[in-house]
């Protein structure tokens, strides 16, 4: 038995399939724009997709570096950081933290003036997260302020 890796033009594996018969999908032929490459049935498909890329020039599998973060895509033989999607995710998390602390700024919040000021400073620190973390490439790499 075989598995078939369907390879995108970038060399990245689109998906792996197990045909009902070894002869159903011809090795190194194109199907719907993807190159079909036979691989061993023993390969763990999930791990194989994570660690291998097809080198079209050498016509062989090569190992690629691990995915640096969820905000990287494989392009032109290397991982490229997708800053727009990263900052969108960061803003979503920051806005959620701001929303969760909105109550602290209400006139009838059961807080002292000192506590309200601490929360105001925390909320300003949340707004400053993008300015203070320009080199971050993961959400875990962001220096998030602590709640009072």
For residue 6, pLDDT over 90 is answered with: yes
The predicted model gives 70-90 an average pLDDT of 91
Reported confidence tier of residue 55, pLDDT bands at 50, 70, 90: very high
For residue 46, pLDDT over 90 is answered with: yes
Note the pTM of the prediction, 2 decimals. Answer: 0.66
Q: What percent of the chain has pLDDT over 70?
A: 100
What confidence tens digit (pLDDT) does each residue in 36-45 have? 999 999 999 9
Closest of 81, 4, 65, 75 to residue 36, by C-alpha:
4
Angle (nearest 5°) at CA 71 between 125 and 135: 45
For residue 63, pLDDT over 90 is answered with: yes
Neighbours of 52 (CB within 10 A): 21
């Amino acid at each position: 038995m075989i598995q078939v890796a369907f390879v995108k033009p970038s060399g990245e594996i689109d998906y792996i399939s197990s045909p009902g018969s070894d002869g159903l999908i011809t090795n190194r032929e194109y199907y719907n724009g993807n190159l079909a490459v036979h691989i061993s049935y023993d390969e763990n498909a999930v791990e194989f997709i994570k660690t291998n890329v097809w080198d079209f020039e050498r016509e062989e599998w090569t190992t690629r570096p691990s995915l640096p973060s969820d905000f990287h895509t494989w392009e032109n033989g290397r991982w490229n950081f997708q800053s727009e999607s990263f900052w969108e995710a960061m803003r979503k998390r920051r806005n959620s933290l701001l929303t969760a602390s909105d109550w602290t700024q209400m006139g009838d919040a059961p807080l002292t003036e000192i506590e309200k000021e601490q929360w105001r400073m925390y909320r300003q620190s949340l707004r400053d997260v993008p300015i203070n973390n320009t080199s971050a490439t993961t959400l875990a790499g962001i220096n998030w302020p602590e709640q009072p």
